[in-house]
């Protein structure tokens, strides 16, 4: 299965081979993969080469290492289509997963110059600052910080934001959420983010900024989220 005469590097061939076993389901989430030594002996290649392939798959989130017990196949990444404007709660429910939130911070603060500009409100107007860990089936997926004008979204409580913000806005306040713009950037987790997301410091994350508007064009929220890049993948459908 490894062709030493191929112009493709050996580590790359091994990497593709393991990846294809995972994609075909022959290696399942939680399965342990053979050791470096086993691969090296089987294909008569160096352990360094095997390590290079495995490191790449670990970095790309296909595999993870557990000290003292080996290298395992990761859970499949959550695929999030960037089509409709949905909430975290809706996204997880649509996948049959249970969304929960851990509330880290909830406070009414005077808008800073930057937030006021983004929400098109006066400086020092009251805004809610909300920081939540968003979990799916109990596993932390993202760390999210929202800023919302308190004059627009009235009556927020800890109980409401421990559930769904969008549901409250639409069903209780009867406001119509219209559209959003979203930016996605790659980054690595800080120590704080790593602790909340239960990953290692420096683990890859996807930094997302969303600005959402009501259907009449009023800015509704400015949100910054750090998503675990080992668990999340965003998909865009393009038509020509």
Binding residues for ligand 16G, rule: CB under 6 A, are 87-89, 144, 146, 164-167, 208, 210, 212, 221, 223, 225
CB nearer to ligand 16G: pick between 45 and 222? 222
Separation between Cα atoms, residue 177 and residue 215, nearest integer Å: 6
- Give the nearest distance from C-beta 114 to ligand 16G in angstroms: 17
On the 0-12 / 13-18 / 19+ scale of CB atoms within 10 A, 142 is: buried
CB nearer to ligand 16G: pick between 133 and 208? 208
On the 0-12 / 13-18 / 19+ scale of CB atoms within 10 A, 131 is: middle
- Give the nearest distance from C-beta 74 to ligand 16G in angstroms: 22
Of 2, 83, 75, residue with least CA distance to 231: 75
- Give the nearest distance from C-beta 53 to ligand 16G in angstroms: 33
CB nearer to ligand 16G: pick between 41 and 183? 183
- Give the nearest distance from C-beta 91 to ligand 16G in angstroms: 7
- Give the nearest distance from C-beta 89 to ligand 16G in angstroms: 3
Of 101, 119, 102, 103, residue with least CA distance to 111: 119
CB nearer to ligand 16G: pick between 54 and 208? 208
170 secondary structure, DSSP code: I
CB nearer to ligand 16G: pick between 36 and 91? 91
> How would DSSP label each residue in 185-207?
EEEE--HHHHHHHTS-TT-EEEE
């Amino acid at each position: 299965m490894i062709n030493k005469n191929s112009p493709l590097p050996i580590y790359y061939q091994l990497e593709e081979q393991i990846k294809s076993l995972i994609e075909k389901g022959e290696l399942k989430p939680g399965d342990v993969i053979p050791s470096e030594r086993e691969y090296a002996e089987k294909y008569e290649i160096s352990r360094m080469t095997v390590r290079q392939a495995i490191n790449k798959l670990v970095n790309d989130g296909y595999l993870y290492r557990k000290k003292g017990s080996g290298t395992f196949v990761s859970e499949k990444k959550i695929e999030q289509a960037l089509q409709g404007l949905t909430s975290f709660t809706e996204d997880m429910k649509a996948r049959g997963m249970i969304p929960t939130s851990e509330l880290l911070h909830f406070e009414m603060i005077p808008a800073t110059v930057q937030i006021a500009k983004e929400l098109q409100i006066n400086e020092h107007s009251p805004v809610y600052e909300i920081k939540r860990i968003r979990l799916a089936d109990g596993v932390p997926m993202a760390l999210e910080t929202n800023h919302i004008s308190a004059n627009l979204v009235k009556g927020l409580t800890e109980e409401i934001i421990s559930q769904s913000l969008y549901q409250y806005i639409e069903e209780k306040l009867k406001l119509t959420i219209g559209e959003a713009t979203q930016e996605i950037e790659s980054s690595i987790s800080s120590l704080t983010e790593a602790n909340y997301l239960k990953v290692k410091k420096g683990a890859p994350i996807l930094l997302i900024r969303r600005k959402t508007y009501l259907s009449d064009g009023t800015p509704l929220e400015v949100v910054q989220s750090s998503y675990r890049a080992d668990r999340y993948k965003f998909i865009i459908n393009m038509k020509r």
